[in-house]
Structure formats: C-alpha cells, structure tokens
Amino acid sequence: MRLLTHNLLACHAKGCGSSSNNFPLKLQNVQLELIEAEYNETFLKGFLPKLAWPAFVSTARDLGDTSLPLQTPNFLEQVPDEAFLQALHHVLLQKERCGIPNMLLAEHEIPK
C-alpha cells in the first residue's frame, strides 16, 4: 500500500468509527519497499488539495522520512517548486508497505 492510499483510509470498526482515532491509520512494524513510479506533475498538483497534510506528514515521519515540511504549505499563494514535487512524489507514490492491505472487518467489528 502506498502512502497515497493510506492517506485516504479510515477505520470503520465499532471502537473507532465515531471517534477521532479513526484517522490516520497507525502503521506498526512495517517494512518499506521503494517502488519506481512514473513522475506526473499534473497528478501531484491535482492531488495536493485532497491530501490530509498533517496526517500524511505524521505518517511519513513515523516511517522515517523527514523530507516534507510539518506545516501545510499554502499552495494558493505559492506554486510548489520542482524539488517539493519530487519529494512529494517519492513519499506519496514510491514508498510501499506490504502490498495491498486487508480492509475486511471481522463480524464483531461491523457496526449494527
């Protein structure tokens, strides 16, 4: 699972669905793999408004990557430069952990 996917997932189990603990999902005991991905500046610029920046950067830092700023950049005032977009591409699309996650809930986790 790439961090792109991780940034869009939330917990819907009984214990966390209605609390603030449902996002971002915590990654524990992960092994990262670097996967080459095609650089697409248009995609990155279009995806920036959809990113939950604090959660994304927090997860990246939990995984040992400190290349992105903690503060959410103001992209309306300043167009992201090439170096920033390259760093974003690397963290968002080239870091993968354990392939596709199993997001199926056990029967006791399904809200009724």
CATH code of the domain made up of 3-109: 2.20.25.10
Mean pLDDT of 76-85: 79
Please count the other Cβ atoms lying within 10 Å of the Cβ belonging to residue 1.
17
Distance set, CA 99 to CA 19, 30, 84 (Å): 27, 11, 26
The three-class DSSP label of residue 14 is coil
Can you give the pTM of this predicted structure?
0.62
Mean pLDDT of 96-109: 58
| 7 or 55, which is more confident | 55
pLDDT at 9: 60
Interval 28-79: pLDDT, tens: 666 666 778 889 989 888 888 888 888 888 878 877 788 888 888 776 677 7
H/E segment holding residue 59? helix 53-62
Question: Which residue ranges make up each domain of the chain?
Answer: 3-109
Cα(61)–Cα(63) distance, rounded to whole angstroms? 5
